[in-house]
Each structure stands twice: as C-alpha cells, then as structure tokens.
Amino acid sequence: MSPPTAAPAAETICVVGGGTIGSLFAAHLARLGEVWVLTRRSDHAAAIRSDGITVTGKSQFVARLQATADPGELPPFGLAIVATKATELGAAVSQLSQVSPDAVLMTCQNGLGADAVVARGGPWPVLSSVTFMSGTRHSDTHVEYELDAPTWLGPSPCRPAPAGTADDVAKRLVGGGLKAQAFDDVQPALWSKLIFNATVNSVAALTQLPHDRHFRETAELGDLGHLVRALVEEGRAVAEAAGVTLHEDPWAMNLEAVRRGETGQGRYRHLPSMLEDVLASRPTEVDFITGALVRQGLEHGVPVPLHLALYRLVKAREAAFAASELT
C-alpha cells in the first residue's frame, strides 16, 4: 500500500472502543496526527500505550498512539468516533458527557438509532456513518485488516454536524489509508446497509452460517437464497414507504460480499457480527438492526412478516442465553 497522502490540518481525535473497527480507525488515523483510544479496561489501554497497534493484512504498519480507560484523562479533542457495539453505545456516550462539548461525534454502529442515542446523551453535533471494512482482532494490540471496503458518512438529522465536516472527516480517513465517502444525505446509504444487515445478520445468527454462497443460491427449493431475496424485498418496500431511495441495492451488496469472500486469499470467512454474538452467548444488536426495520415497517403500514419472525427468533436465542445462565 502506498504511504498516506496529505490530509486536512490535524487535530486530536478520540476513538471510543478498542475492538476491531475501533482499532482500524485509530491506527490509520494515528498516521496523520494525535489519536487517543478510550477503552473499557485499563490493562488494554496500558498495552496500547506500550506497544501501539499493529495492523496486518491490507495495511502493514505499527501505529503509536495514546490510550486510557479514564475519560477524565482525555485531552480536548475535535472528533470522537464511537466504535462500540450498539448495545454499549449509551454507556460509552455517558462517559463523554462532560468531555469536549464542542467536538463532533461520529457513530458507526449498524442499523438505525445510534445518532439519536448520541444526541440525547450530550450537546455534540453528530455525523452518522456505516462502515463495510472488517478484520480480525488477534489481541489488544494486533488487528488484521481483511476487507478494505468504504465507510459512508454524513450529517445526522438529529443534530447535524456543520456543512463540510463529513467531507473533512472522509479526507482524513482516506489520508490515513482507509476508504471513505461523504454524503450530504447519508440516509439512503444507511438504509441500504440496514436492509443488508437486517437480512444477513439475522439469518446468520439463526443458521450459524458464515456469509457465504448459501446466501445467494436459489437453484433448489431448499436454497437459502430464496429467503434472503424475500427479506431484501420486504426491506425495500419499507424504504419506499419511508420515502428513502436506496443508495445501493441490498441484494447486489449481498452478492458482492459473497463474491469477495470467494475470491479472497483463502482465509476470509466473514462471520456477521450477530453470529459472533450468538456464538459467544451475548446480546446481539438485533434491536438496532432487524428491530429498527420492523418498527419502520409498522410505522409506515408495510407488512414485514419475515423480518418480524427473524426478530422474534433472535430475541428468543438471547432469552435462551439468559435462561442457560440460571441452570
């Protein structure tokens, strides 16, 4: 990969969350200026301060940056990228409630509603984003960058960031070696990913299949692709009723994601995030993803029987986790 290109004037950036996506954002942005990572664990923060973050795969470098588990130790920052799971978003925002009130906060959670949580939690102007990049977190200080797909971002309708902010942040991401695209209206892009995720994540969580060829096959009566296609069409009907013209076709996004997996380096086996949660017996983001689509369908009078069934089944899986802890 070529060296990072010039970017707008650097200012301190805070990345909240040191998982795979947070580590990728933080490490790449640290190539351009000062970056702090706010982690949940003090030992995680200490490891980052000591060793930096090693990125392998699509990028190959070691980033040196600051980290803390105490929000009171953060310096003033101009941008915070909140890279936690949607289920942890409220707690993450509450940590920042007294920190850098003039900063811009950028959400990158799947589904709908993350920007509203941020807007309720503090005074910050908000950017909404959704990212397609992915990787594997091998340790607290090593992340493998596997899928170098873009991040889409734009001003949130809840409390929009000033004009030009999305373009500025996108340039920084690109300058650090990531892919990004800014939109004046990011909702069509968010809805495209919402329908894609509500379909692929829920099906994967219930079947325990990685996102592979089964999600596109329609030759036989029992092929999973029939259900995936029908779920996409349900979601498309909801978007139309909501007045949203989709940025990309979610079915085409599904086909492209499967193709990327098949033409990769032989190691790429994408486990959607809700499947990872199910395998770890922890709560999923289904309320922000499939639940959000179902609620939009009900609000706009669009029947969504397939998505509603998947939503209830995933919630039942979560209930089973809780029940097993009591036995």
The reply to whether 50 and 115 lie within a common domain is yes
Q: Retrieve residue 16's tokens.
A: 């909240």
Tens digit of each residue's pLDDT (9 = 90 or more) over 79-92: 999 999 999 999 99
Residue 50, SS3? helix
Task: Compute how many other C-beta atoms are within 10 angstroms of the C-beta atom of residue 3.
Answer: 7
pLDDT of residue 270: 75
* Measured CA distances, 57 to 146, 196, 268 (Å): 6, 25, 11
Which of 184, 209, 235 terminates a domain? The answer is 184
Assigned domain for 69 exists: yes
Question: Which region among 58-72, 99-113, 260-274, 285-299 has the lowest average model confidence (pLDDT)?
Answer: 260-274
The reply to whether 154 and 200 lie within a common domain is no
**What is the average per-residue pLDDT within 264-283?**
79
Q: Report whether 182 contacts 291 (CB < 8 A).
A: no
The reply to whether 247 and 160 lie within a common domain is no
CA 196 to chain CA mean position, Å: 13
CA 178 to chain CA mean position, Å: 15
Q: How confident is the model at residue 325 (pLDDT cuts 50, 70, 90)?
A: low
The reply to whether 149 and 206 lie within a common domain is no
The reply to whether 208 and 132 lie within a common domain is no
pLDDT of residue 271: 85
Tell me which residue of 111, 149, 122 sits closest to 16, measured CA to CA. Answer: 122
The reply to whether 225 and 151 lie within a common domain is no
**327 pLDDT above the threshold of 90:** no
**What is the average per-residue pLDDT within 214-222?**
97
Burial 133-166 (b: 16+ CB within 10 A, else e): bbbbbeebbbbbbbbbbbbbbbbbebbbbeeebb
Which of 184, 213, 245 terminates a domain? The answer is 184
The reply to whether 130 and 200 lie within a common domain is no
Sequential DSSP letters for 177-221: T--EEE-SS-HHHHHHHHHHHHHHHHHHHHH---SSGGGT--SST
The reply to whether 29 and 173 lie within a common domain is yes
Assigned domain for 3 exists: no
Q: Retrieve residue 147's tokens.
A: 């899928």
Q: What is the CATH number of the domain that holds 109?
A: 3.40.50.720
Q: What is the CATH number of the domain that holds 204?
A: 1.10.1040.10
The reply to whether 261 and 199 lie within a common domain is yes
Tell me which residue of 182, 186, 23 sits closest to 115, measured CA to CA. Answer: 186
Cα–Cα distance measured from residue 270 to residue 261, given in angstroms and rounded to the nearest whole number:
7
The β-bridge partners of 152 are: 130, 181
**What is the average per-residue pLDDT within 106-116?**
93
Assigned domain for 17 exists: yes
Assigned domain for 7 exists: no
**257 pLDDT above the threshold of 50:** yes
Which of 165, 184, 203 terminates a domain? The answer is 184
Cα–Cα distance measured from residue 209 to residue 180, given in angstroms and rounded to the nearest whole number:
29
Assigned domain for 54 exists: yes
The β-bridge partners of 154 are: 128
Would you state the torsion angle of the CA atoms of residues 19, 24, 26, 29, taken in this order, to the nearest 10 degrees?
A: -170
Number of structural domains found in the chain: 2
Assigned domain for 8 exists: no
Assigned domain for 124 exists: yes
The reply to whether 46 and 176 lie within a common domain is yes
Q: Report whether 232 contacts 245 (CB < 8 A).
A: no
The reply to whether 136 and 204 lie within a common domain is no
pLDDT of residue 147: 86
Cα–Cα distance measured from residue 45 to residue 40, given in angstroms and rounded to the nearest whole number:
8
Assigned domain for 271 exists: yes
Tens digit of each residue's pLDDT (9 = 90 or more) over 143-160: 999 889 899 999 999 999
Domain that holds residue 180: 13-184
**17 pLDDT above the threshold of 50:** yes
Q: Retrieve residue 281's tokens.
A: 């017996």
Residue 81, SS3? strand
Long-range contacts of 193-196, Cβ-Cβ distance < 8 Å, separation of 24 or more: 193/110, 193/130, 193/132, 193/152, 193/253, 194/110, 194/111, 194/112, 194/235, 194/289, 194/292, 194/293, 195/232, 195/235, 195/236, 195/238, 195/239, 195/246, 195/250, 195/293, 196/232, 196/250, 196/253, 196/254
What pTM was estimated for this model as a whole? 0.88
* pLDDT: which is higher, 243 or 321: 243
The reply to whether 179 and 229 lie within a common domain is no
